[in-house]
Amino acid sequence: MEVRENLLYTSSHEWVMKKNGMVRIGITDYAQDHLTDIVYVELPEINKVYKKGDVLATIESVKSVSEVYSPVTGKVVAVNEQLENDAGIINSSPYDDGWIAEMEIENEKELGELMNAEEYEKLISKDL
């Protein structure tokens, strides 16, 4: 299961990429593998402010419905509209083409509460 070095992670299996004052958000390789084939994604609303822990998106796979929680507080400035037509991109490319949303973060400090790659790897290895 791929865990990328340069990303931050949550215990609910979202990843966060820092991009000059903004963040890009998606779900991890581990998460997509466990959800199995993703069929539908309900994307967040652009310009809406989500608090840390709010439901940002809903992912429906052939096996279950799961929620993607906002890893930080901020305003959504972009969503990956490609997922509307082919949500399976999250399975094939969870860290690149399968990103979910981009946000302007309110408080950079919140990033410090997230896990680094090593910590996340440890978390998922408990499960293997």
Partner 1 sequence: MKTALYDLHKELGATFTNFMGYEMPVKYRGIQEEHLNVRHNIGIFDVSHMGNLFVRGDAEKISYFITGNASKINEGMGEYTMLLDEYGYIIDDEVYFKVGKDEYLFIPNSGMHGSIYNWMRINDGLELKDMSDEYSILAIQGPKVDMAVMEVLEKDVLPEKFFEIRNIPEGKFKIKTDISKAFISRSGYTGEKGYEMYIYPAEAAVEIFRAFLEKGEKYGIMPVGLGARDSLRLEKAFMLAGNEFRGGRTPFEVNLDFFIDWEHDFIGKEALKKKKDSIGEKIAPLEVIDRGIPRHGDAVYSGEEKIGIVSSGGYSPCLKKGIALAFIKNGYRKEGNEVKIVGQREMKAKIVKCPFVKKGEC
**Residues making contact with partner 1 (CB under 8 A):** 33-34, 36-37, 39-40, 58, 60, 62-65, 88, 91
Q: How far is the CB of 36 from partner 1 (least distance, A)?
A: 5
Residue pair 61/6 in contact by the 8 Å Cβ criterion: no
Q: How far is the CB of 116 from partner 1 (least distance, A)?
A: 26
Nearer to partner 1, 60 or 110 (CB): 60
Identity at 34, one-letter amino acid code: H
Q: How far is the CB of 80 from partner 1 (least distance, A)?
A: 17
Identity at 67, one-letter amino acid code: E
